[in-house]
Chains A and B, each alone.
Chain A
Amino acid sequence: MALKKYKKVLLLGSGALKIGEAGEFDYSGSQALKALKEEGIETILINPNIATVQTSEGVADRVYFYPVTPFFVEKVIAKERPDAILLAFGGQTALNCGVALEQSGVLAKYKVKVLGTQVKAIMDTEDRDLFIKRLDEIGVQTIKSHAVETMDDARAAARELGYPVIIRSAYALGGLGSGFCDNEEELNKLAEKSFSFSPQILVEKSLKGWKEIEFECVNDKSGNSIIVCSMENFDPLGIHTGESIVVAPTQTLTHHEVQKLEELTIRIARHVGIVGECNIQFAFDPQSEDYRVIEVNARLSRSSALASKATGYPLAFVACKLGLGYNLYELKNSITKDTTDFFEPSVDYVVCKIPRWDLSKFHGVDREIGSSMKSVGEVMSIGRSFEEVIQKGIRMIGQGMHGFVENKSIKFADLDKALKEPTDKRLFAISQAFSEGYSIDRIYELTKIDKWFLNRLKGIVDLSKQLHKVKGIDALGEDLLRKAKKMGFSDFQIARAIGEEKKLGTQAGLLAVRNKRKSLGIVPYVKQIDTLGGEYQAKENYLYMTYNGCAHDIPFFDDKKSIIVIGSGAYRIGSSVEFDWCGVQALNTVRKEGYRNIVINCNPETVSTDYDVTDRLFFDELTFERVMDIIELENPYGVIVSTGGQIPNNLAMKLDAMNVPILGTSAKDIDNAEDREKFSAMLDRIGVDQPEWSELTSMKEIGKFIDKVGFPVLVRPSYVLSGAAMNVCSNQEELERFLQLAAEVSKEHPVVVSRFIENAKEVEMDAVAKDGEIIAYAISEHIEFAGVHSGDATIQFPPQKLYVETVKRIKRISRQIAKELHISGPFNIQYLARENDIKVIECNLRASRSFPFVSKVLKINLIEIATKIMLGIPVEAPEKSLFDIDYVGIKASQFSFNRLQKADPVLGVDMASTGEVGCLGDDQRYAILESMLSVGYRIPKKNILLSTGTAKQKASMLDAAKMLSSNGFNIYATGGTSKYLEENGVPNTRVYWPSEEGQQPQALDMLHNKQIDMVVNIPKDLTQHELTNGYKIRRAAIDLNIPLITNARLASSFINAFCTVNIDDIPIKSWDSFK
């Protein structure tokens, strides 16, 4: 057939990872780019997310690190003149941008054709009114809903429908600004907030308690349609699908019911005019066959990434090809290689997705889960029974839970409430309920989770009870052990249940179970995912492990030509797409060097779990137990633990104890860096300074220590990533309160207290060493002073304002440390610098979050070098260094506070950002503007509200305030700030804090009335006060979608940039043209 030939195609990415729009779009975009490449089409990518795989060398022909906004995309179009554009692969961000470009006539002006589903179809699915109208035309039922544009109409609609109602904003990703309202008061609050995100909101009758069922559908231009995957939400309707545990395929629907919904799906997809992929969500009555269509996503989505991974059907790749004009039957199944892509996958396993929340990172956040998404990542488990996948999945989440049972830490006082009002911990409420003898019916009444799931969960609790009757490993019978393994019990869970953990300790206990089961031949088997239920032979090794089997699908080669790279697991705050990038770079290098590359990972949003990246993909747990199972079968040449963040890093010692060949830096040296005591002793020995610290063993000792160093102090456990449970305490009361929380976090490792140094610069060293010699490095500088977590800080590279002497000292110390720890591979050291006084604050003998950023700015792939070193391949130090770079890269953080109701949007030592961008500029100010605009800031038009904290901070903001004033901005300021500005000759209008009742104008009123374009609110200290004046202002800014900055140095940088640079003057340059 004759395809229209496209020469150059532009793909829009999704920007920074945020709640509701995360790594899945790196995966879908990468797939689309691969599909285009296969066709010989030149590809242009706009995506400021520098940590992604899709913005790596060799994926797109040209990459633009600019905001995905109509303004910048038009500029790129004008420059590149592509003949077509893809809008479906960059989430809601790309879709919204595409719709805006179409409506403004930009696409027509430059003759850019939209490939795949057309903008009109997209609008039909995005605008609720149009959507309902279109579905009415084909007799498909939708949720009765009123689209309203004013508060009065919202109230009237709700009265007509009757409470409870649900509110949604049109054109918003992941249910932003959505929620349930039980009465008018709740409606008033939520509706106002939703209006700030969208001019139109929808008021609907709530169908709480119905099932939620999803289908992924693919349609080609000839009208051939297939259903790729059916998915059933474990949680009832009312919990956003991104917040719900999802199981594929559907478990509790009859064939007839599935067929009925599939037919509807295809009817809808054809009627709207989908060419490519779409996702349709249904509400389904548990008591009849009644249904409602909840929504249609005319683009790749989180669910489609999940469906791709769940079935092995590469949805994004296929959707892209269909957009180019192919028919489904003309494409080959990429797993079997000889059947067609026109087929509906049949799975012979069960898949379970579980979201990962990091709500404990946020102060004051509402823990209830509901119609708005709060989770930051997800895992997918594969097995051959529901019990197996749910228990695997719970472990994969990586929050210290061992499965559905045998967890210690959680105990619900009001169990009925915990079941009825679900939180991120609801599964464990169900577990507790079963142990306390609740019936399935009672739990169903409280949770509305289908009884089939509940019964299966009860089976796990029942088996746990049987195990608890067994006294010790010798009394454990083969049948019971086998049954437990089939139900997904880990060796550790069994050890704990039979009392071996208590007797022997964690590791020895689980090893006792492991040895026993191995001696009985109870081992997991490796199965392939083949898309056709075994009907055809799979050519790809997309694998999982199960105890519900008796044979392996694949052979194992004892040739020492395999390298296992351990992946990074669920995306979470502090470990996200950047480690997937690192993993993929390591895997690519391993393959290039002639080894078989094997990955273990469990995150469906990743590119590393794309089966054609590796020779073998084990989509499985990152626990010691499972990793050992795989290592024992594969008998690899070596294992790489340094590119996947903290999870693999933490396995190093345990694997080493089993004589696993760990590549690169030795496990002992990793421990020497991780263990604060050992590390500190080493620094003392080599004469390197660090902030004074002490190990916490009793409150008395701490008291003495603080008497010496004074407040504030930094308190943290020894194994940390993203500052989990790390906090700054400014006084005795805070210290005592915090330690009660932190003590729960890690029992194996002590908590340390260190002196917190204020007004110091933070500097990062990302480097690669070989046998203790640094081969390549990048030094970058935080814009904020120390005290903002390095994952939240705005980072510039190369450093712009460091003394030459500081850089010199940092290099020297880094060399000493590399040598002392015999580093071979990637590592990162964080420094404090005040004047030229340098202190080491942290050292990780693994790749860090900033590796992709510095690698791409420097254009030296640090992971590639590190991997070669770990493989023992000779490398030469790159000729270029950061001193040769004439441009600057700025890495800015993306926050998702708008999704986290009630959380205080203030930054501290604990990481809170969900994503990042990195932009380049010949001038630092260009890069600042590009990156700030990329993470959702807008250049204010007129009015700015300032409240700038302590005297010192006020002073540091003065220049910026003057600049605002002289550039014609109106400054509104709260009491102290107003007075200070007045005294320094900066005109401003005083506004009043919420506590200053009766005084006018009130800051909050101005925010609500949309009179303020930007808020700079600098908290007085680093402690987090809830419900203070500052909190109310900050929270209102977030809830009303008004840009908020809480750091004086960042605010100054941003203000300086937009006051001195006209956004129109920013040159548009692709990555490769920065030289």
Chain B
Amino acid sequence: MTVSLVLADGTSFKGESFGYNQPVSGELVFNTAMAGYPEILTEPASRGQLIVMTYPVIGNYGIQPMSADENGLPTNAESEHAQARALIVSDKSDFYSHWNAAESLEEWMKREKVVGIEGVDTRELTKHIRNHGSMTAKILFDGKQKPAEYAYTNMLPEVSVKEPVTYNEGGAKTVVLVDCGVKAGVVRCLINEDLKVVRVPWNYNYSKIKMDGLVISDGPGNPSYCSEVVTALQKFMAKNDTPILGIGMGCLLLGLAGGMDTYKLKFGHHTQNQPVQLVGTDRCYITTQNHNYAIREDSVVGQWKVYLKNLNDGSVEGIYNTRKPWVGVMFHSESDQVSTDAEFIYDDFVSKL
């Protein structure tokens, strides 16, 4: 079935629908990862997004079984369910081939209610987003009602746990993880550091929990909609010297709590190849990112310093406090146990606990 993708500025692209058949609206972003569609679609930071994959052939290895590991964390995915609303590709593989595949991408998308379009010139679409900035868009089906306009809201209630969950009960130290839409991979990294992780809802009052450190997680949306988290954090920071680590959205929230400003990037960072440099050193890291906002560099003042910078666009990729053990970084770990350079962030954090 031919469907249209209509952008907020009126531009439209045609393609064939696959997956779930229903008109939908959302924020249109492109992702330049060449593999990893299951992770990208299930990552809470993708909430509400219509994702354009710039790599043209998607679905080759199907979907690996998504169940729960011994900690109750989802396997082969960043959360239990799809978070993105739509997937836009050039060429979708109907046939998949992988020893550990459970089903095809399309079958999974149908069940998870993710709308798909194939046959789109995703490069042309990506260039449009690059030139005009990320914007909302709708997917329209002939003869079906138009979807409601996409509204930017605070998405944390949708992606956060409802009740506190504790992982790795016997861990050496305890951290509280404020779940703003945390990736399973981040939780795993913390567990791998032998931490007891108390994952709490985004609006939970964690100030009374006995802890060695506080982690503000990654997550979707605009940080300025999350003033509740920022206020709670400011209160906590005023009373405690507890080490804090902010990741992705968590970094932005930490920045806001520290008095900095955030702004929307033209088309965000949604790739697995963002180069960042540890300021003042020769050390650089390739990082995975999925967010639309950044901290304004000229607002990093006083006790705060820029920790890492993006080598491509110069944006702030990390901040730290010169007096307190508080650090925020805009990238996050991958879902698996494969260690990458960027994990030094966790090691550093743990060493401060």
A residues contacting B by CB (< 8 A) are: 1, 222-226, 230, 249-256, 258-260, 263, 266, 286-288, 327-329, 339-340, 342-350, 384-386, 450-452, 455-456, 525, 527, 532-537, 548-551, 553
Contacts and interface: CB of A to CB of B under 8 A. Distances in A.
Contact of B57 (A256, A385, A455): A385
B61 interface: yes
Nearest to B335: A256
B347 interface: no
A537 B338 CA distance: 32
A330 to B, nearest CB: 9
B30 interface: yes
B33 A348 contact: no
Contacts of B121: 525, 548-551
Contacts of A339: 311-312
The 8 closest A-B CB pairs, nearest first, are A255-B36, A533-B32, A452-B97, A534-B126, A533-B54, A222-B282, A346-B32, A455-B95
A284 to B, nearest CB: 11
Given A260-B336, A384-B56, 5 more contacts: A339-B312, A348-B122, A348-B126, A550-B124, A551-B121
Contact of A222 (B90, B283, B311): B283
B30 A534 contact: yes
A251 B57 contact: yes
B127 interface: yes
B35 A250 contact: yes
Given A256-B336, A455-B95, A548-B121, A226 B286 contact: yes
Nearest to A224: B284
B344 to A, nearest CB: 12
Interface centre among A226, A286, A384 (most CB of B within 10 A): A384
A230 B282 CA distance: 26
A348 B55 contact: yes
Contacts of B91: 384-385, 548
A350 B61 CA distance: 16
Nearest to A549: B121
Interface of B: 13, 30, 32-36, 38-39, 54-57, 60-61, 64, 76, 90-91, 93, 95-100, 121-124, 126-127, 130, 267, 271-273, 275, 277, 282-284, 286, 311-312, 334-336, 338-341
Given A343-B312, A452-B93, A548-B121, A252 B61 contact: yes
Contact of A534 (B32, B60, B283): B32
A350 B90 CA distance: 12
A340 B311 CA distance: 6
B35 A346 contact: no
Contacts of B283: 222-224
B284 A452 contact: no
Given A348-B56, A452-B93, A249 B123 contact: no
Given A348-B123, A384-B90, A329 B336 contact: no
Contacts of B284: 224, 327-329, 342
A229 to B, nearest CB: 10
Contacts of A258: 35
10 contacts: A253-B35, A254-B36, A255-B33, A345-B273, A348-B56, A455-B95, A534-B127, A537-B130, A548-B121, A549-B124
Contact of A535 (B61, B271, B338, B339): B271
Interface centre among A224, A347, A386 (most CB of B within 10 A): A224
B35 A225 contact: no
A498 to B, nearest CB: 24
Nearest to A548: B90
B55 A452 contact: no
A385 B57 CA distance: 7
Contacts of A553: 123, 127
A526 to B, nearest CB: 11
Contacts of A288: 99
A141 to B, nearest CB: 15
A537 B129 CA distance: 12
Contacts of A451: 95, 97
Contacts of A344: 272-273, 286
Contact of A252 (B98, B273, B275, B312): B98
Given A255-B36, A344-B272, A329 B338 contact: no
A226 B76 CA distance: 25
Nearest to A444: B97
Contacts of B60: 251-252, 452
Contacts of B93: 452
A343 B275 contact: yes
A350 B95 contact: no
A329 B124 contact: no
A346 B283 CA distance: 22
Nearest to A338: B312
B126 A340 contact: no
A57 B167 CA distance: 68
B271 A342 contact: no
A527 B54 CA distance: 13
A385 B56 contact: yes
Contacts of B95: 451-452, 455-456
A339 B275 CA distance: 10
A64 B55 CA distance: 45
A527 B35 contact: no
Nearest to A348: B54
B32 A348 contact: yes
A676 to B, nearest CB: 47
Nearest to B281: A222
Given A286-B99, A549-B123, A329 B35 contact: no
Contacts of A347: 34, 55
Contact of A349 (B56, B286, B339): B56
Contacts of A533: 30, 32, 54-55, 126, 271
A346 B34 contact: yes
B42 to A, nearest CB: 12
Contacts of A386: 57
Given A347-B34, A385-B91, A452-B60, A255 B39 contact: yes
A527 B56 CA distance: 13
B99 A287 contact: yes
B290 to A, nearest CB: 13
A842 to B, nearest CB: 46
A329 B54 contact: no
Nearest to A227: B286
Contacts of B312: 339-340, 343, 536
B311 A452 contact: no
A532 B32 contact: yes
